[in-house]
Amino acid sequence: VKTERPVAVTAHLRVAYTLAARRYARWVAPRFRPIARELLAEPAPAAAPGLDVGSGTGAAIAEWCRLLPTARLVAVDLTPAMLARSPAQHRLAADAASLPLADQTFRSVVSIFALHHLPAPVAALRDWWRVLAVGGELRVATWAANPRTLWDVFDDALAELGAAERPGPAGKPLDAEGVLSDAVTSAGFADVAVRRLSARFDFADATAYWRWRTAFPGAARVIAALPPGQRRRLRERVGDRLAGWTGPLISHHAVLFVRARRS
């Protein structure tokens, strides 16, 4: 088994998010706003400097600004094409695991759906701890392990055509309460609390599903490499599978929400 070096994984991901950025901003980010709202819910995070890591097109930044219009926020992301579509005033293209930011700069560090991409998530969490001021708060939302759902229809159609996506970063995923809590604790945080919620994404029809599903980086990368005929066949197969789907077109996903503190 060949293990990719973290730097290669990261570069590969940046390419995929660059391909996806325009569609992601339009079809995915608005659907993540309720998750951002939940993560930033009572008590609201501090308005003093806040950091959003893996900020993408700014779902968390938009919600944070709505809650606290005077908040001073910095958005960090690996992919300039994602940041270019963000409403954040202060944007920084950087790796979440080695932030070019001074120690103890922020009162809050937030991250939504970025942790699962990181080849060394505990090392990244340690860096987030480093930039937090003493007493500062961490809030993270990340995917939990999920039973099969509407999401997988796309992958099944892709596999049928023999064009399946490459696997994500190697290593043990932080996709259950215990491993996630242990990782956050071992990165130095105190008062670690993890809770699980279910997010649902509803689609009016096959077009809405296709727009959403192909706006994620893995799918965007695969589609960019497919000849037009194959792309058309893939879309038809996704359509056929959706036509055979029992019940409304809803994708259910388990999400873990973390709160912790730098003591």
User: Pick from 27, 62, 64, 77: which binds ligand SAM (CB under 6 A)?
Assistant: 77
Q: Interface with ligand SAM by CB under 6 A: which range of 50-58, 132-140, 192-200, 226-234?
A: 50-58
Q: Is the link from the previous residue into 43 a cis peptide, with omega within 30 of 0?
A: yes
| Integer Cα distance of 261 and 134 in angstroms | 8
User: Pick from 19, 27, 29, 255: which binds ligand SAM (CB under 6 A)?
Assistant: 29
Min separation Cβ 253 and ligand SAM, Å: 12
Does position 56 interact with ligand SAM (CB under 6 A)? The reply is yes
Does position 222 interact with ligand SAM (CB under 6 A)? The reply is no
Q: Interface with ligand SAM by CB under 6 A: which range of 76-84, 175-183, 190-198, 255-263?
A: 76-84
Between 33 and 237, whose beta carbon lies closer to ligand SAM?
33
User: Pick from 59, 174, 180, 222: which binds ligand SAM (CB under 6 A)?
Assistant: 59
Q: Interface with ligand SAM by CB under 6 A: which range of 95-103, 149-157, 187-195, 248-256?
A: 95-103
232 burial level (CB within 10 Å; 0-12, 13-18, 19+): exposed
Non-local (6+) Cβ contacts of 163 within 8 A are 222, 226, 230, 234
Between 29 and 241, whose beta carbon lies closer to ligand SAM?
29
User: Pick from 27, 32, 128, 129: which binds ligand SAM (CB under 6 A)?
Assistant: 32
**What letter would DSSP give residue 145?**
P
Between 6 and 239, whose beta carbon lies closer to ligand SAM?
6
* Strand 106-112, strand 50-53: pairing: parallel
Between 29 and 260, whose beta carbon lies closer to ligand SAM?
29
Between 18 and 241, whose beta carbon lies closer to ligand SAM?
18
Instruction: Specify whether the backbone of 171 is left (phi greater than 0), alpha (psi in -120 to 50) or beta.
Output: left
* Phi, psi at 200, each rounded to 5°: -125, 140
Residue nearest to ligand SAM (CB): 56
Per-residue string for binding with ligand SAM, 104-143, x by CB under 6 A? --------xxx--xx-------------------------
| Integer Cα distance of 28 and 195 in angstroms | 23
Do the Cβ atoms of 190 and 182 come closer than 8 Å? no
H helical segments located in 226-263: 228-243
Do the Cβ atoms of 143 and 252 come closer than 8 Å? no
Q: How far apart are the first and last CA of the chain?
A: 41
Between 120 and 161, whose beta carbon lies closer to ligand SAM?
120
175 burial level (CB within 10 Å; 0-12, 13-18, 19+): middle
Non-local (6+) Cβ contacts of 152 within 8 A are none
Min separation Cβ 73 and ligand SAM, Å: 13
What is the contact surface with ligand SAM in residues (CB under 6 A)?
A: 10, 13, 17, 29, 32, 54-57, 59-60, 77-79, 82, 95-97, 112-114, 117-118
